[in-house]
Structure 1
Amino acid sequence: MDIAHQLDKLGVDAIESGFPISSKGDLESVRSIASAGLSTDVCGLARVLRKDIDACIDAGVDMIHTFVSTSDVQRIHTIKKSREEVLEMAGDAVSYIKDHGMKCMFSAMDATRTDMDYLLDIYRSVEDNGCDIINVPDTVGVMSPSRMYNLITQIDQEINIPIDVHCHNDFGLAVANSLMAFEAGASQIQVTVNGLGERAGNADLAETVMSLQSIYGAMTNIHTQHIIETSRMVERYTGIKISPTMPIVGENAFAHESGIHTHGVLEKSDTFEPGIMTPEMVGHTRRIVLGKHAGRHAIKKSLESAGLSPTDEQLTEIITRIKSIADKGKRITDADLNAVALAVMGKPAGEELIRLKELSVMTGNIITPTAVVKAVMDNEEMIISNTGVGPVDAALKAVEEMIGEHARVKIHDFRIEAISGGSDALAEVIIGVEDENGRIVTARSASADIVIASVDALITAINTMLRK
């Protein structure tokens, strides 16, 4: 339900909310979404079978998407029907849906491997039976962009109702094929958040929308500033992590490390970014990454943002030390840069807003993981407890609650690595925290106790951010 409301906020035109006939749970889920009062159309999926269609009607959806295999390989080996039987079933299903006064989309499953003359016969038949939209699925992701363009061009010449496409990403071409379909006359594209889907997934929403709007100049109803929050919500609920290098929504999509790149971006962002798409357009933030390729200009800017103004000689020494750390394969955090700079400049570390005194956790198979944190917060001792899905989650939530009104921060990213072997392995935790202005600060900690390392890293990141 959270994802459905988020998609509605994002401005999607339709949500294919589930396959009601597949289970009682799916039926109830689709019914809940359909009755949630969303602005978007809620669609249910159905085979060309009356029991499937009845389940969608029972769920109260706005539109029914009915489908049947049309390629010889699927028709013969899965549904075991003749071409004539499939043609009749498709027409009957569409008529049945329209007789109930509902909007109908029809898919010829595996359309891109279906004989062209037969495919057009199917689409003409469903159009004659009142279908509102035809869908052309590249079910096993075998199309090339040029072939997709030619296919949709041919269909568009024969069919008078809107064309929708559904592309799979088996060869990494789902978005490219979708865009070629749009160029050829398709007016709708089926997409998924983070490109999730069967096997290698489907056309990604963010990549498709931003390509349409920024490259083609096409208008969509998507409120693009909500793309990142939508992507992260789906990542959190599915547990499927977004690759750092994923276009648009990945952590590195607007991150720059190379000295040449960072110098250019800091002077004028579109020197090394598309320009027609900015991080702000999708709710992202630009980051300067400090590593062995970082340039003098970037490190100086980062230090200035932390209120530090080293001399040229001190800056040279800071850069040397930072690159020495990076050459050992370590990621440079903001707290690392701060610590190195303060040491080189001979400055005190500064007052910490929060200082950990004690941490205890309780966990087990019959106990809800609970953490109790005692810390000095702004010279006042506080004790906070919280629960979570595990001891680390509980401890981090307790610290976030403790920081309370002093700063509105949230955990942006969390990663852990074992840096020694054995059951007593030393664990290194790197945490990034983000404030309400989208500014991100990172810090690290290492300990044989993963909970202690996590809390230490979080507190260090918070203190570093507040000092900045």
Structure 2
Amino acid sequence: MEGSFLKVKIFDTTLRDGEQTPGVSLTPDQKLRTAVKLDELGVDVIEAGSAITSEGERQGIKNIVSEGLNAEICSFARAVKVDIDAAIECGVDSVHLVVPTSDLHIKHKLRKTREDVQEFAVESTEYAVDHGLTVELSAEDSTRTDFDFLKEIFSEGIDAGAHRICACDTVGMLTPERAYEFYGGLTDLGVPVSVHCHNDFGLAVANTLSALRAGATQAHVTINGIGERAGNASLEELVVALHSLYKVETGVNVGMLYDMSRTVARMTGIYLQPNKAIVGENAFAHESGIHADGVMKKAETYEPITPELVGHKRRFVMGKHVGSHIIRQKINEMGLRVDEERFQQIFSRIKALGDMGKCVTDVDLQAIAEDVLGVLPEKPVELEELTIVSGNKVTPTASVKLKVEDIEKLEAGVGVGPVDAAIVAIRKSMAGVADITLEEYHVDAITGGTDALIDVVVKLRNGENIVSARSTQPDIIMASVEAVLGGINKILSDKKIRESKETSS
């Protein structure tokens, strides 16, 4: 395919199409915080919501408008005056004015005629333009629409004052080849063309790239690709593909992408699969010995972009595929010195754990190394007492007594369950010593029966440092507490080693 990119604008619909993800509902405050972050990211347009939806939705849009952001603030609207009036009330800059155009939608959803839809599109466009709004006239299910009719309705909308047009691949039916032909066929209408692709066949980003190569100038995207069903085209994937593969720059600050992804994941409660491109936790993680060795020597051998480009971090995972170079590096970081014989013992034990299907955590490695070396593991923090109160109509409450460097700390916490309460109490006890957040919590029953061994794996964050830890016990509460304390001890031990190295240098 021939074609070249024009300037690409980013229309972010995380707060509208993204919020239509099943189970997601954002408060006005959450919407405002996300919009401010999106503006810092550098998107051109923020679709803040659909003003007609509810009073809370309108308040959220008004809050965003009043913030005075650089981005154009847009509201979704159907081609009816009541929707446009709601958008006008909110003070937005523009409306994403959507009309269904496929015969399937016109006949079965609207139960109208093509002529009715044309009339709606023209009248609503004129009404919005007359009230000072920028209008992006959008055709829903456009990729299953008779193409001559699609161009006709867009032409009439443009004559009525529409400033931009958008063709929506509402159920993700395009292929990259057809996307190029389809969007290329709309570029002679005299106004900017937007591409809006859904990901039902996993092709949303590829189809969006093809549309942009064909002459579309604005891409509708969401952070993390969230949205209805399989979601929308992913902002981070599209922007980095443009930046790295096509050498096309947008106004987006790519260094903020990982942080932006995590913010939206927290706000929506929709967390990413680990292997998500660009921003997933495994996007720059390496276990294979060959890969890890190559990355340590020259990152480009197995990384197409650096993690730093998008604000991410590289990490090495220890499992049955791990190579000796990574284990040596980890042992050195722990401040331990081992000869070749002991190193081979450590290496063999890690491989054996991997063959058993075990994830070898930082704490596991330290325990294995110290066991081989005959070193007693240092425990800056030790559990002295744990009391749990939980039951029907009782708020789960935990009190813990910890010994932190010979100083006793006693704290209590409440939570949604006894495990949560215990972890809250521990975090309160460690405030100012090791301020941690629980990044991941995973539990498995290893054996059967009511006395099953429970395997708990946690991932803790302390500033920029992330450690993983595990504990296996018949009691899920104790296993959880010991795993968290194991991670905290690893964080504190690592901190002591770093400080010692800085002092000696």
**Which category of TM-score, normalised to the shorter sequence, fits these structures?**
over 0.9
Counterpart-to-counterpart distance in 1, 2:424 and 2:457: 16
Query: Aligned residue for 1:148?
Result: 179
CA contact (8 A) 1:162 1:187 kept: yes
One-letter identity of the residue aligned with 2:294? G
Counterpart-to-counterpart distance in 2, 1:398 and 1:222: 40
RMSD over aligned Cα atoms: 1.8
Counterpart-to-counterpart distance in 1, 2:156 and 2:420: 56
Query: Aligned residue for 2:437?
Result: 410
Query: Aligned residue for 1:199?
Result: 229
Query: Aligned residue for 1:372?
Result: 399
Residues 231 and 463 of structure 1: CA distance in aligned 2, closer, same or farther (over 3 Å):
same
Q: What aligned pairs does 1:60-459 form with structure 2 within 5 A after superposition?
A: 60-156=91-187, 158-274=188-304, 277-350=305-378, 352-363=379-390, 366-436=393-463, 438-459=464-485
Query: Aligned residue for 2:3?
Result: none
Counterpart-to-counterpart distance in 2, 1:220 and 1:365: 55
Counterpart-to-counterpart distance in 1, 2:44 and 2:128: 20
One-letter identity of the residue aligned with 1:464? K
CA contact (8 A) 1:285 1:439 kept: no
Secondary structure at the counterpart of residue 247 of structure 1:
coil
Q: How many residues align?
A: 463
Q: Gaps (5+ residues) in structure 1?
A: none
Counterpart-to-counterpart distance in 2, 1:8 and 1:448: 49
Residues 5 and 120 of structure 1: CA distance in aligned 2, closer, same or farther (over 3 Å):
same
Instruction: Report the CA distance between 1:334 and its aligned residue.
Output: 0.5
CA contact (8 A) 2:434 2:491 kept: no
Counterpart-to-counterpart distance in 2, 1:365 and 1:25: 34
Alpha-carbon displacement from aligned partner over 1:200-237 (angstroms, at most 9, x marks no partner) = 11111211111111211122222223222222232233
Instruction: Report the CA distance between 1:423 and its aligned residue.
Output: 4.5
Query: Does 362-371 or 236-245 show the bigger shift?
Result: 362-371
Counterpart-to-counterpart distance in 1, 2:134 and 2:421: 47
Counterpart-to-counterpart distance in 2, 1:129 and 1:365: 64
Counterpart-to-counterpart distance in 1, 2:318 and 2:155: 59
Instruction: Report the CA distance between 1:22 and its aligned residue.
Output: 2.5
Query: Aligned residue for 2:66?
Result: 35
Q: What aligned pairs does 1:14-33 form with structure 2 within 5 A after superposition?
A: 14-33=45-64
Counterpart-to-counterpart distance in 1, 2:220 and 2:391: 44
- Aligned sequence identity (%): 45
Instruction: Report the CA distance between 1:69 and its aligned residue.
Output: 0.6
Counterpart-to-counterpart distance in 1, 2:59 and 2:421: 32
CA contact (8 A) 1:212 1:218 kept: yes
One-letter identity of the residue aligned with 1:110? D
Counterpart-to-counterpart distance in 1, 2:168 and 2:391: 48
Alpha-carbon displacement from aligned partner over 1:316-373 (angstroms, at most 9, x marks no partner) = 11111011111111110000011111111222212x2211122234445755544322
Residues 392 and 187 of structure 1: CA distance in aligned 2, closer, same or farther (over 3 Å):
farther
Instruction: Report the CA distance between 1:254 and its aligned residue.
Output: 0.4
Secondary structure at the counterpart of residue 21 of structure 1:
coil
Query: Does 15-24 or 296-305 show the bigger shift?
Result: 15-24
Secondary structure at the counterpart of residue 251 of structure 2:
coil
Secondary structure at the counterpart of residue 112 of structure 1:
helix
Q: Gaps (5+ residues) in structure 2?
A: 1-29, 495-505
Residues 463 and 36 of structure 1: CA distance in aligned 2, closer, same or farther (over 3 Å):
same
Residues 126 and 269 of structure 1: CA distance in aligned 2, closer, same or farther (over 3 Å):
same
Counterpart-to-counterpart distance in 1, 2:380 and 2:69: 43
* Larger relative contact order (CA 8 Å, sep ≥ 6): 2
Alpha-carbon displacement from aligned partner over 1:179-215 (angstroms, at most 9, x marks no partner) = 1111111111111122111111111121111111121
Alpha-carbon displacement from aligned partner over 1:79-124 (angstroms, at most 9, x marks no partner) = 1221122112111111111111112111110111111111111111
Alpha-carbon displacement from aligned partner over 1:24-57 (angstroms, at most 9, x marks no partner) = 3323333333334433322211110001111111
Instruction: Report the CA distance between 1:308 and its aligned residue.
Output: 1.7
Secondary structure at the counterpart of residue 155 of structure 1:
coil
One-letter identity of the residue aligned with 2:94? M
Counterpart-to-counterpart distance in 2, 1:453 and 1:331: 16
Instruction: Report the CA distance between 1:456 and its aligned residue.
Output: 1.3
Counterpart-to-counterpart distance in 1, 2:244 and 2:35: 26
Query: Aligned residue for 1:59?
Result: 90
Residues 390 and 42 of structure 1: CA distance in aligned 2, closer, same or farther (over 3 Å):
farther
2:32 equivalent to 1:5: no
Counterpart-to-counterpart distance in 1, 2:430 and 2:251: 38
Counterpart-to-counterpart distance in 2, 1:360 and 1:20: 50
TM-score (norm 1): 0.94
CA contact (8 A) 2:361 2:470 kept: yes
Residues 160 and 362 of structure 1: CA distance in aligned 2, closer, same or farther (over 3 Å):
farther
Alpha-carbon displacement from aligned partner over 1:359-396 (angstroms, at most 9, x marks no partner) = 23444575554432211112110112234444333332
CA contact (8 A) 2:48 2:64 kept: yes
